[in-house]
Amino acid sequence: MIQLNGVQVYYNQGKPNEVHALQNIHLSLKPKDFAAIVGPSGSGKSTLLYVIGGLLRPQSGTCTVNRNVITSMKNKQIAAFRNQEIGFVLQDFGLIRNETVLENVMTPMLFSREKLLSMEKHARNALDMLQIGDLASRKIHQLSGGQSQRVAVARAIVMDPSIILADEPTGALDSENAHLLMEVFQMLNRQGKTIVMVTHNINLCAWCSRTIAISDGKIVDDAHSHI
Amino acid sequence: MKFIYLVRNQFSKFWGRELLLILQIVAMICLTAPVMTDVAALLSVNRLAEQITGPAIFMQADSRYLMPDEMAPQAFYEALSRANNIEEVKCVGRTADATGRFDQQSALITFYNPALVENVTLPLRRGAVYFPEESDRIPLLITQELAQTYNIGDEIPIQLYFPVSRIYAQEAFVVVGILDSDGYYYEFVGGGTDIALNAMGAKNSDDKFRAIALSGFDIVPMLDISASCLLFVEDDSQATVDAVNRALAGIGSAARIDTMRQNTIKAVVQDQPLLFVAAALMILLCWLGTVIFNWLNMDDFIGRLSVYYICGMTLHRGFFANATTQLIPILFSVPISILLAQAVPIEISMAGIRMSLLLILPVIFLSILFLSLRFRKTDPILLLQKNE
């Protein structure tokens, strides 16, 4: 369950270049929702994702995720929350290029209570689930875009979080790989994960159960559909 | 274990960058240690000068390490005796040291003669220096480390080695005071220490217990002054200095302590100008190298920071992990520097090496400062926002 109440975010507050990125956002997402957040560049959709993911603290309002009021948490608690509850998938994959696939997937477990010895096993399971177990020993720069994004998804699910936040996950992929990635997201959603995806690509909304349109920091449309 | 894994992942390929930094630091220490050895001697003279209670002249002979080849100890003692006999000189302050055995460990004992004890304020934490007329025990000042085991009044049997007769002889020492600082130790050695010890430390002389022994049973850092004596005088005018120098007849040279300080400063620069310039350049190069190392290291780390951040790392932990990555090669260079500095074919004292090691502090300071400044400007959100 994700609940945002009166969330306001400013960038460069009090300066001449102040931007009111999110304006009094009220939003509720249920468990197992597969939501797309759409809107033009600079509309605040990624900012909304960062607030939900505990990456950005709003200047006012509250954000509650799985009963955790993350807007009132301390930095250390928010870091633990990100580690346990959220999996991030980014447009440029957000992978460490000179490390292997396996090492990249193990990264979130470095900040968890998981023992070092069992980390590799969990990482391999995540890779197998996404059918890229054979890439484990490859370096990231040896992978294609589609493979890299699958590795990013494997890293996002390795801690078995309940929520996956994806920021333009298909932005660097061709249509075929974008389609494959959406199938992966759909599979994860069917397994019970809440997925919130920011996208420019309106066609991808067809994969989602809910489409939230945002413009100038405000929610301008919120449509539910059944897929 | 995970922290080690995290730190290890941040090292450069084949440790090239880290090895280069270690090499720079080691080169800096090895090049500066000879210069710092002279500086350390100067500082020890400065410290001594503050503790001398009356006028005194500092007399230097040639380096004691070279003396056996260049000058017979007898010639030195004769010159010293002539200086001592002139009217203006009241007495000669001297030290000698001895090796020995104590509690099945090797021991180093420094003897101060009565003139030194009377005219120099020994920094004592507790107790007092005294000359027991009837006691057959040698009064002893101990370091604070030993004070954890022994109290004032305790007797400590020590086997002293007498090199002339080549025997160990057991002597009874009694603790009369505790030094304020474990590092307190002035070494004025004129001529061979062995001969001085037999003359001063043994009990077969006319006067009983003329020496006060300062113990340094484990490691007492030596503030090494080359072959030297303190001549306590009525006044330290130029006429007195000239008279002493005439008596020494070229065996050594005497000067007021402030003159000696100035001479030492000049000597540090003039004796080995190439080494001095090379050391100065190496310091600058090493500091610059540290900044470059930090820059590259941080660049690498910032590439990972946003990834680590979204995966659940706090910025504090990131700072700590990156700082550790930067400090490990610096700390690693310390033992290597100590080992290699001792192999440099120039006379180097431990005090000089220790002072050279202090040059690592700015390296550490630079690392932390640089890291803090770059971390302050680094926002993982901004790194992520390039997507939007």
Q: pLDDT tens, B276-308?
A: 899 999 999 999 998 899 888 888 888 788 889
Give A20-65 pLDDT, tens digit per residue. Answer: 999 999 999 999 999 999 999 889 998 999 999 999 999 999 999 9
pLDDT band, residue A196 (cuts 50/70/90): very high
First to last CA, chain B: 36
Partner-chain residue, chosen from B310, B312, B316, that has the shortest CB–CB distance to A94 = B310
B151 pLDDT higher than 80: yes
Q: What's the confidence (pLDDT) of residue B97?
A: 67
CATH assignment of the domain containing A43:
3.40.50.300
Q: SS3 for B370?
A: helix
In this prediction, residue B355 carries a pLDDT of: 86
Mean pLDDT calculated for residue range B305-313 = 90
Q: Give me the half-sphere count of Cα atoms (radius 13 Å) on the Cβ side of residue B303.
A: 12
pLDDT at B365 over 80: yes
* C-alpha distance from A226 to closest chain B C-alpha (Å): 28
Nearest residue in chain A measured CA to CA from B387: A91
Question: Is the pLDDT score of B63 beyond 50?
Answer: no
Burial class of B235 by CB neighbour count within 10 A (0 to 12, 13 to 18, 19+): exposed
Residues of chain A found within 8 Å of residue B309, distances taken between Cβ atoms = 55
Mean pLDDT of the region B65-83: 64
Whole-number pLDDT of residue A227: 53
- Cβ contact B5–A110 (<8 Å): yes
Boundaries of every domain in chain B: 2-38+273-382, 92-227
What is the rounded average pLDDT of the residues B52-63? 77
User: Minimal Cα distance from A99: which residue of B?
Assistant: B9
ipTM of the complex: 0.91
A93 touches chain B (CB under 8 A): no
Helices B16-51 and B315-343, packing angle to 10 deg: 70
Q: Which of A49-63, A172-186, B180-194, B269-283 has the lowest mean pLDDT?
A: B180-194
Tell me the average pLDDT across B207-234.
50
Is residue B134 pLDDT above 70, yes or no? Answer: no
pLDDT value for B4 = 85
B3 confidence band (pLDDT: 50, 70, 90): confident
Residue in A107, A140, A165 to test binding to B, most B beta-carbons within 10 Å: A107
Whether A68 has its CB under 8 Å from any CB of chain B: the answer is: no
Residue B66 has pLDDT above 50, yes or no: no
Q: Residue B188: helix, strand or coil by DSSP?
A: strand
> Would you say residue A67 lies in a domain?
no
- pLDDT for B276 equals 87
pLDDT (mean) for B379-386: 72
Report the percent of chain B where pLDDT is more than 90: 12
Number of domains in chain A: 1
Q: What is the distance in angstroms between the Cα of B48 and the nearest Cα belonging to chain A?
A: 53
Please check whether residue A66 lies inside any domain of the structure. no
Secondary structure of chain A in HEC code, one letter for each residue: CEEEEEEEEEECCCCCCCEEEEEEEEEEECCCCEEEEECCCCCCHHHHHHHHCCCCCCCEEEEEECCEEHHHCCHHHHHHHHHHHEEEEECCCCCCCCCEHHHHHHHHHHHCCCCHHHHHHHHHHHHHHCCCHHHCCCEHHHCCHHHHHHHHHHHHHCCCCCEEEEECCCCCCCHHHHHHHHHHHHHHHHCCCEEEEEECCHHHHHHCCEEEEEECCEEEEEEECCC
Determine the average pLDDT of the residues in B326-353. Answer: 85
Considering only A37-51, A106-120, B192-206, which range has the smallest mean pLDDT?
A: B192-206
The domain containing residue A146 runs over which residues?
32-55+74-224
A166/chain B closest Cα distance in angstroms: 11
Residue B187 parent element (H or E): strand B186-188
Which of the residue ranges A189-203, B43-57, B244-258 has the most confident prediction, judged by mean pLDDT?
A189-203
Residue tagged 């250390």 (tokens): A76
Label residue B102 by pLDDT band (50, 70, 90): confident
Residue A159 lies in a domain: yes
* Residue A99 in domain: yes
Confidence check: pLDDT of B219 > 70: no
Q: Which of A194, A205, A225, A216 is nearest to A53 (CA)?
A: A194
Please say if the pLDDT value at position B200 is more than 60.
no
Q: How far is B354 from chain A (nearest CA, A)?
A: 39
